[in-house]
Amino acid sequence: MTTRVALTGANVLTCDRDGSVLSDQTVLVAEDGFIEAVGSREELAERAVAAQRQIDCTGKWVMPGLINAHAHLLADGRPLPKALMNAALARGIVGFWKTPLGRPMLRERARGFAQAELNSGVTTFRSLGEYDNEAVSLGRESESGQWLGPRIMASGPMLAITGGHGAELGLARVVDAPWEGRKAVRQNLRLGATSIKIAATGGVTDAKVVGEAGRPQMTTEEMTAICEEAHSAGVLVAAHAQSPEGVLRSLKAGVDTIEHGSAMTDEIIELFHDNPRSLRGWSAFDATLLAAAPLVEIDTKITGINNVVRENAKIVLDSMVQGIRDAIANDVVLGSGLDSSMTFTPHYAMWRELDLVVSRTGLSHARALESVTRVNAKMLGLESVTGAVEAGLSADLLILGSNPLDDLKALEAIDTVVVRGNVIDAPSVDTFDEIDELLDTLRR
């Protein structure tokens, strides 16, 4: 149950492209969990006094809650035991999670990961590929107020070809023909999925040979059928695509967001801007660097990965970095995702993803904050719901002790999280010191 809340005396980060800051502002939150008004402290003084709770934000910064456009609730982000990369063992574990005994355990495990996202400032995330329908269920329960969690868009299991990315580990519905793709979409939508995820190309972590990551897997015809089926229900489609050819095929099929991405050609850039088969007539690039960078830049004696994985990660990372630069130069809609759950991507590390993109591509701090708030909201079709500190939007807010426009590390120490008007004082997460020390070495 929310109450009327007044955040007074704040420096409000608008998270626009210019990095505008409104000083000495009051943000009024109504009992329905929406922002009632934003204005000067003097202008809203009487209404602030009438609020049931006042939070003095003098000398602090208030900004929209973060939106993680690419998350998973599979693991906590620490390196997985090598045994779990054994396909047969992995399928056995996934099979257990889907049993009557395993499902409740899986749900609570996933809830903990979602809570870590929220307490680190992520008030909305899109889950792109799970064991079962745990993220779908948690999102529904959070939306209805059964538990205080983030807003969750969820795809359910991703869709992949036989032997494709994630398939051998039991993490995908197998699709080997257009009508199988339509059936898989219908199955996920019946579970309550609010997005669809496809593996258009091979991936890094389960690659068996150098060059497999990014190699096209699903055909354009298969992806087109998937997009048509999802779009008929008004649902966006995301594609794991890590090469120019994989990205091009995905965009031609009508995919709405490209996950991870690659260097761009003129044809790719044009399709991002004008994509007649996509749901909204344009497509977006969801940047994710943190899942690959440690595999390349940290010694393999520490990461424990083999040479095949490292070489694939390097190929993909170099192409993704160039793709982000191409997106910046050509004003492609550029969002931000953490790929949380992957090795070295703990759920509390969204700020590190932003910091990495800034240091590797030259993106400004202002645009990084815009990408993880306003742009992600637009990319996910949530711009009328969240993503900014504006009247009429959901009160998804962060109160910070320092300005992230100066240093994105400010997002690591959040004083208060507000989600749908519910105030979380002194949010905390369990962190992994050894992982964080390694990730600190990536900062430039």
Q: Is the model's pLDDT at 104 over the cut of 80? A: yes
Q: Is the model's pLDDT at 196 over the cut of 70? A: yes
CA distance 315 to 210: 9
The model's pLDDT over 353-388, given as tens digits with 9 standing for 90+, comes to: 999 999 999 999 999 999 999 999 999 999 999 999
Q: What is the pLDDT of residue 87?
A: 76
Q: What is the pLDDT of residue 300?
A: 92
Which whole number is the average pLDDT over 163-190? Answer: 95
Q: What is the pLDDT of residue 47?
A: 97
Q: Is the model's pLDDT at 251 over the cut of 90? A: yes
Which whole number is the average pLDDT over 39-57? Answer: 96
pTM exceeds cut of 0.95: yes
* Exposure of 23 in the CB half-sphere (CA atoms within 13 A): 1
Q: What is the pLDDT of residue 90?
A: 80
The model's pLDDT over 49-83, given as tens digits with 9 standing for 90+, comes to: 999 999 999 999 999 999 999 999 999 999 876 65
Average pLDDT, the chain: 95
Q: Is the model's pLDDT at 1 over the cut of 80? A: no
| CATH number listed for the domain at residues 66-379 | 3.20.20.140
Which whole number is the average pLDDT over 205-227? Answer: 95
Which whole number is the average pLDDT over 309-338? Answer: 97
Q: What is the pLDDT of residue 170?
A: 84
CB 28 within 8 A of CB 6: yes
CB 377 within 8 A of CB 16: no
CA distance 439 to 428: 20
Q: What angle do CA 249, 250, 254 make, to 5 degrees?
A: 115
CA distance 177 to 328: 36
SS3 sequence of the chain: CCCCEEEEEEEEECCCCCCCEEEEEEEEECCCCEEEEEEECCCCHHHHHCCCEEEECCCCEEEECEEEEEECCCCCCCCCCHHHHCHHHHHHHHHHHCCCCHHHHHHHHHHHHHHHHHHCCEEEEEECCCCCCHHHHHHHHHHCCCCCCCEEEECCCEEECCCCCCCCCCCEEECCCHHHHHHHHHHHHHHCCCCEEEECEECCCCCCCCCCECCECCCHHHHHHHHHHHHHCCCCEEEEECCHHHHHHHHHHCCCEEEECCCCCHHHHHHHHCCCCCCCCCCEEEECCCCCHHHHHCCHHHHCCCHHHHHHHHHHHHHHHHHHHHHHHCCCCEEECCCECCCCCCCCCHHHHHHHHHHHHCCCHHHHHHHHHHHHHHHCCCCCCCCCCCCCCECCEEEECCCCCCCHHHHHCEEEEEECCEEEECCCCCCCHHHHHHHHCCCC
Which whole number is the average pLDDT over 255-274? Answer: 98
The tokens describing 292, both together, are: 């690959």
CB 202 within 8 A of CB 166: no
In the chain, ranges of CATH 3.20.20.140 domains = 66-379
Which whole number is the average pLDDT over 259-281? Answer: 98
Tracing tokens 């903990």 back to the chain, one arrives at 112
In the chain, ranges of CATH 2.30.40.10 domains = 5-64+388-425
Q: What is the pLDDT of residue 98?
A: 87
Options 2.60.120.10, 3.30.930.10, 3.40.50.11740, 2.30.40.10; CATH for 5-64+388-425 is: 2.30.40.10
Which is more confidently placed, 168 or 407? 407
Q: Is the model's pLDDT at 148 over the cut of 70? A: yes
CA distance 226 to 197: 10
% of the chain exceeding 90 in pLDDT: 90
Q: Is the model's pLDDT at 91 over the cut of 60? A: yes
Beta-carbon contacts of 394 under 8 Å, excluding residues fewer than 6 positions away, are 33, 34, 35, 151, 385, 386, 420, 421
Q: Is the model's pLDDT at 282 over the cut of 90? A: yes
Which whole number is the average pLDDT over 323-346? Answer: 97
% of the chain exceeding 70 in pLDDT: 99
